[in-house]
Structure 1
Amino acid sequence: MVIISDATEEDLGEIYRIELESFDNPYPLSLLKAYLYLASVYVVAKENGQVVGYAIGIIQHRVRGHVVSIATAQGYRKKGIGSALLRSLEEAYKQRGCTYSYLEVRVDNEEAIRFYRKNGYLVTYTRKNYYGRGKHAFVMVKPLINKNLE
């Protein structure tokens, strides 16, 4: 059974391991640690006490939630953990009054784009050179409130 909870300093080693196996240009451990104190939301997914995924989010201007990073350990992918982590960020954003969530994803990262689309995100525009020269990102957005219900 996977449990999602707030990240702690004790989780950083496992978070960093997941970061290294998940990204071509991983965040340094020092930045992952800084986010513990700077991020609005920093959660981990644990199974039997072991970190199997994490997500970092920041609330900007009290209306939008930015998905900074999300990753699941290789052996735990495609089991719903990433979606649960993303929902956890979105719920925290909604509780704090955000109207939408957004993120950047490399235009050639088809697996991640499919994941975000499955979770309700839509490509809104391309941010040129976001990941370096010639490495563009799609900005994907998901509304968090339904205007028809207000």
Structure 2
Amino acid sequence: MILITDASEEDLDQIYKIERSSFDNPYPYSLLKAYLILANKLYLIAKDNQTVVGYIIGIIQYGYRGHIVSIAVDKSYRKKGIGSKLLSSLEERFKSFGVKYSYLEVDVRNKSAISFYYRNGYIIAYLRKNYYGMGKHAFIMLKNLYYKFLD
């Protein structure tokens, strides 16, 4: 059974391992550690028994905007709904702090991630050129957390 809980310093080695295996330019260990303070109550992990199998980091900007800084799931645990659980757990935390919308950056070439975010209610808002370096663009994707629309 997968448990979503707050990240702690004891989880950092496992988080860093997932980070390194998930991204071409992973965040340094020191930054992942700093987010334990910066992202108070918005740094979550997914655990299978005592093993960290995924994480998500969020921060609140200007009191109403939730920024998803990073999300990753261990490759052997992907496509099992863990990423969606992490995302919805963070969104619930955002809402409890009065956040109106959530946003993130995603590489325009990362079709599987874009698809994942679409399935979880995010839409492409605009293109940010050179976000990941020269010629490496990102889509900014948004999700409204405030209004409920009628189906």
Asked if these proteins are the same fold (TM beyond 0.5), I'd say yes
**Structure 2 unaligned runs (5+)?**
none
Detail structure 1 runs of 4+ shifted over 4 Å in the superposition: none
Q: Give the structure-2-normalised TM-score.
A: 0.96
- Whole-angstrom CA distance in 1 between matches of 2:39 and 2:146: 22
Aligned AA (1:72): V
Q: How far 1:147 moved relative to its partner? A: 5.6
* Counterpart mapping for 1:119-138 below 5 A: 119-138=120-139
Task: State how many pairs are aligned.
Answer: 149
Partner of 1:57: 58
- Whole-angstrom CA distance in 2 between matches of 1:131 and 1:123: 17
Q: Give the structure-1-normalised TM-score.
A: 0.97
- Whole-angstrom CA distance in 1 between matches of 2:36 and 2:121: 27
SS in 1 for 2:98: coil
* Counterpart mapping for 1:7-46 below 5 A: 7-40=7-40, 41-46=42-47
The two structures, once aligned, show a CA RMSD in angstroms of 1.1
- Whole-angstrom CA distance in 2 between matches of 1:54 and 1:148: 29
CA displacement 1:41-81 (0-9 Å, x = unmatched): 10000001110000000011111100000000010000000
**Structure 1 unaligned runs (5+)?**
none
Distance 1:48 1:143, change over 3 A: same
- Whole-angstrom CA distance in 2 between matches of 1:117 and 1:126: 16
Partner of 2:76: 75
Q: How far 1:145 moved relative to its partner? A: 1.6
Distance 1:75 1:148, change over 3 A: closer
* % identity of equivalent residues: 64
Query: In the alignment, is residue 2 of structure 1 matched against residue 34 of structure 2?
Result: no
SS in 2 for 1:140: strand
SS in 1 for 2:79: coil
Q: How far 1:148 moved relative to its partner? A: 5.5
Partner of 2:88: 87
Aligned AA (2:26): P
CA displacement 1:110-147 (0-9 Å, x = unmatched): 00000000000000100010000000000000000226
SS in 2 for 1:34: helix
SS in 1 for 2:139: strand
- Whole-angstrom CA distance in 1 between matches of 2:17 and 2:30: 13
- Whole-angstrom CA distance in 2 between matches of 1:31 and 1:148: 37
